[in-house]
Amino acid sequence: MCLAIFDKNYKLLFVVTENILKIAIAGAGVAGSYLGCLLSNIGHDVTIFEASKKENHWPVCAWGASYHMLSRFSTKAGLNFDNYVLHIGKVLKMDLPNNVTEYLDLRGLVTYDKRRWEQDMLAGAKIEYGTQCLRSTFPSFKFDIVIDCTGFHRTLLPKSHEDFIIPAYEYLVENIEAPEEFYVIGYKGARGYFWYFPLDKEKAYIGAGDIDRKYYGIQDFFQNNPKSKIVKKIGRPIRLAPPRRMEPFSAGNIVGVGESIGCVFPMLGEGIIPSLLCCDLFIETLEDRSVPSFDEYRKKVLRKFSYYDDVYRIVRLKMENRLNMVRHLNLIMSMYINMKMEEKRFGFEINFSKMKRLVNAL
């Protein structure tokens, strides 16, 4: 049972739950910070353990996501997303193999200050920085629930035999004279892509994810922008295997949320919104029952992200040069229909002809 407390304008202040749980969250990334904030607000006794030291904690990410969705998640946590937006995209230019160029209208794709957003999420939370959780030593028995939000690392859960990751790194660059809009170069065989994501004040993230580790585009960028200055180089692999291939989601009282269980859109390596959607599914399951059901949560995640498996199959078939537009039309249609239904969640136009041209060109 929950009791919701509103202010006089009907804004939700907090919810008091009868069943207070002692919860540990490993990892203070996007999922860990959002969950930490919301679960504490509900009244649970939450402690977050983050491997990095506070001063070094930096979200390894290009900070691009849909304005509409992040506004929604921010409001739930009591933040105003407008305070974090760095760049509002208008158009995305995509250079594809064989000299094909496509332009996508952007409908809400922004970059935002993800670091400050996560810090503000954690403002009232109990957090221990500089604590590297390990499966062998973490005192899980001291908590009712332990949530693995370690993202790509998936530290507290057993490995999945179907895991698939792509190496990636990026530079935070300033003093840029380059184009001010979002720009990507798609690699042949969907084996990765180069990105240029504008931030504010002549800053941008430039980086690449590439299964072949050639990272085409990065060197050219620096040659064409000799005055640009590197502020930071960061990187880690991105998980492309979707939830269906990342079971188990739980082991004993440990449960995974976010990228740790494959909540990343496989075509783009985009995991902010999927991880936050996954958090909401977890909270929903917790609110529905006094005792959390990991099985119910598992079913919800598999249902919500079921089409990610079709998208993942397209990516893998492309990588293996085995995608046939006729034989695999069912997969293409599944990707198109599901993305179209969630157009706002992506922040760019979903257009069937462009999608077909893009898949063909790669």
Ligand X SMILES: Cc1cc2nc3c(=O)[nH]c(=O)nc-3n(C[C@H](O)[C@H](O)[C@H](O)COP(=O)(O)OP(=O)(O)OC[C@H]3O[C@@H](n4cnc5c(N)ncnc54)[C@H](O)[C@@H]3O)c2cc1C
168 binds ligand X (CB under 6 A): yes
Part of the chain binding ligand X (CB under 6 A), chosen from 71-79, 93-101, 152-160, 212-220 = 152-160
Q: Which residues pair with 71 in a beta bridge?
A: none
Residue closer to ligand X (CB basis): 192 or 323 = 192
170 binds ligand X (CB under 6 A): yes
Residue closer to ligand X (CB basis): 185 or 323 = 185
Cα 241 to Cα 3, 235, 310, distances in angstroms? 38, 18, 11
Cα 26 to Cα 61, 140, 296, distances in angstroms? 18, 11, 22
Q: How far is 335 from 329, CA to CA, in rounded Å?
A: 10
DSSP letter string, 2-32: EEEEE-TT--EEEEEESS--EEEEE--SHHH
Residue closer to ligand X (CB basis): 265 or 328 = 265
Q: How many residues bind ligand X (CB under 6 A)?
A: 41
Query: What residues between 127 and 146 interact with ligand X by CB under 6 A?
Result: 132-133
Residue closer to ligand X (CB basis): 100 or 178 = 178
Q: Which of 15, 17, 47, 60 binds ligand X (CB under 6 A)?
A: 60
For residues 90 and 235, the answer to whether their CB atoms sit within 8 Å is no
36 binds ligand X (CB under 6 A): no
Q: How far is 200 from 246, CA to CA, in rounded Å?
A: 36
Residue closer to ligand X (CB basis): 192 or 207 = 207
186 binds ligand X (CB under 6 A): no
Q: How far is the CB of 163 from ligand X (least distance, A)?
A: 14
236 binds ligand X (CB under 6 A): yes
Query: What residues between 62 and 101 interact with ligand X by CB under 6 A?
Result: 62-65
Instruction: For strands 64-66 and 109-112, give the pairing.
Output: antiparallel
207 binds ligand X (CB under 6 A): yes
Give the x/- contact pattern for ligand X in 8-27, rule: CB under 6 A.
------------------xx
Cα 228 to Cα 59, 174, 178, 240, 262, distances in angstroms? 22, 6, 9, 31, 35
Q: How far is 101 from 358, CA to CA, in rounded Å?
A: 9
160 binds ligand X (CB under 6 A): no
DSSP letter string, 308-319: HHHHHHHHHHHH
Q: Which of 40, 41, 74, 150 binds ligand X (CB under 6 A)?
A: 150
Q: Which of 210, 259, 280, 310 binds ligand X (CB under 6 A)?
A: 259
Q: How far is 267 from 258, CA to CA, in rounded Å?
A: 17
Q: Provide the token pair at 232.
A: 């930071």
345 binds ligand X (CB under 6 A): no
Part of the chain binding ligand X (CB under 6 A), chosen from 49-57, 218-226, 290-298, 338-346 = 49-57
Q: How far is the CB of 14 from ligand X (least distance, A)?
A: 23
Residue closer to ligand X (CB basis): 247 or 259 = 259
For residues 138 and 146, the answer to whether their CB atoms sit within 8 Å is yes
Q: How far is 340 from 97, CA to CA, in rounded Å?
A: 25
Residues within the interface to ligand X (CB under 6 A): 26-32, 49-52, 59-65, 132-133, 149-153, 155, 168, 170, 207, 235-236, 238, 258-260, 264, 269-272, 275
